[in-house]
Structure 1
């Protein structure tokens, strides 16, 4: 009994020490924010929609003040605003029909091929590189048929994408919480699609928030599949809020794993700020990920 009590005391002490360490790690990141200096090992971005309470002009000014210069999920009609502020469109959108109506269903292929052909040209002419796409919902289409359909349709735009130097990225989304019935909801499925498309210009947008929900094992998955991952999104689990000590993922370790793969693309913050000072939340998130 005495031995057990001693062990319990040691366990509690160890847990408290670990909690103190983690809080200190996040606190030190917050303190470092005051310097305004970024390490430059990660190319930082933020998703437009999560800060839509700001005008695009205001968001551009905000990211420049924090110390980075890229915004995700901005379409052609707003690129002039980005260029005015010398802010990069790190993930272009606008060619998709919707998240639910995608490449896995042949009825959408004609429209998608038309849209992506037009947008690939627009992206290239604007000097950008990444263009998002989606698998679409299953709607009773089995995963193998959906993959065959995706590959068949996407292959029809890849010659142009390769010629123009544009990367088409399919986003991995969770189907447990946020996007019920979405087909590209596991990394293995997306990686197999990349192999079937067979182009270095087709990759996956690995959303860390979504994949933690549907499959977990984030660091190992990134390490083993990084050749097929062309972009990353963040978000706190659960709730998709700030990526601080209130959620279950430890982002500094994830960022170190990403850097270790040799990744040179962008990591975009896609959390929905819940705290009162939402700009401070973005600043803190950038610092957490700036390893």
Structure 2
């Protein structure tokens, strides 16, 4: 994984550039995308894709490609590029740009001043743009026990949850694995995140359930979704091991997982967040959408 793009590095680049990444145009891509016919979707899943996993495309190219595949939204796009999404008629399904990074989050009180300021500015901006979801992170443990992390996180989030409720914005804390990709990350189990949801007691705070990450750290994906879906506001995909394509090359069976999500009545977004390993990365994305469109 060391030589592959990572969420941590991607977030650093996006934050450094005001949530924008300078990308080179892909020769001939526009003509290829324009020739593709739109795929008819079944309408049970709202499909999205994470921008950072298709960094070889400009955002304009990714938007054009996404529309031909049946994707309605792009995840992890910051405010400086929301106008690009709107130009293409796509939603920003998971906004970012208020976080410090993935490791410095709400579980450490020393970051609360910065985080409260950032989110207090970003929440109204998300609402004004007509979007709904805004990502946040627990941060790393750094020797901290679970209870202290819960207490600190709840304390910090309570300072902004009222503002989120006022503007109709849902703060979504992502569940990340601490075993392989994000060593020491605190919100690495659904039970910890669910307890935080209960302490906040707000419909405007939910968990971003990353299927790939939770397969690594706890497994039992379908049962967890069935029993706790009320706390999950967004889903990410990824093949395990390796976070590559979600096809038969890996261990998760996404058609069954998607059917379980649909059965809960979920109306939010499922975003593809796998790192394509195949030479034809667009074909991988197209196939992933077909797999998940149950």
5+ long unaligned stretches in structure 2: 1-35
For 1:126, the equivalent position in structure 2 comes to 129
Structure with the bigger percentage of helix: 1
- Asked whether 1:117 is paired with 2:120, we answer yes
Quick one: distance in 1 between partners of 2:108 and 2:172?
A: 17
- Asked whether 1:209 is paired with 2:212, we answer yes
- Asked whether 1:149 is paired with 2:152, we answer yes
Q: Residues 80-139 of structure 1, C-alpha deviation per residue, up to 9 Å, x if partnerless?
A: 111111111000000000000000000000000000000001000000000000000000
For 1:262, the equivalent position in structure 2 comes to 265
Structure 1 outlier segments of 4+, above 2 Å: none
Shift of residue 36, structure 1, vs aligned partner? 1.6
Quick one: distance in 2 between partners of 1:61 and 1:116?
A: 30
- Asked whether 1:233 is paired with 2:243, we answer no
| Aligned pair partner of 1:106 in 109, 117, 120 | 109
Shift of residue 34, structure 1, vs aligned partner? 8.2
5+ long unaligned stretches in structure 1: 1-32
Decide which structure has the larger Cα Rg and report it. 1
Quick one: distance in 2 between partners of 1:35 and 1:272?
A: 23
- Asked whether 1:184 is paired with 2:187, we answer yes
Quick one: distance in 1 between partners of 2:255 and 2:285?
A: 15
TM-score normalised by length of structure 2: 0.87
Contact between 1:104 and 1:135, CA under 8 Å: does it hold in 2?
yes
For 2:11, the equivalent position in structure 1 comes to none
- Asked whether 1:83 is paired with 2:86, we answer yes
TM-score normalised by length of structure 1: 0.88
Higher-RCO chain (CA-CA 8 Å, sequence separation at least 6): 1
- Asked whether 1:159 is paired with 2:182, we answer no
For 1:12, the equivalent position in structure 2 comes to none
Quick one: distance in 1 between partners of 2:285 and 2:43?
A: 17
- Pairwise CA RMSD of aligned residues? 1.1
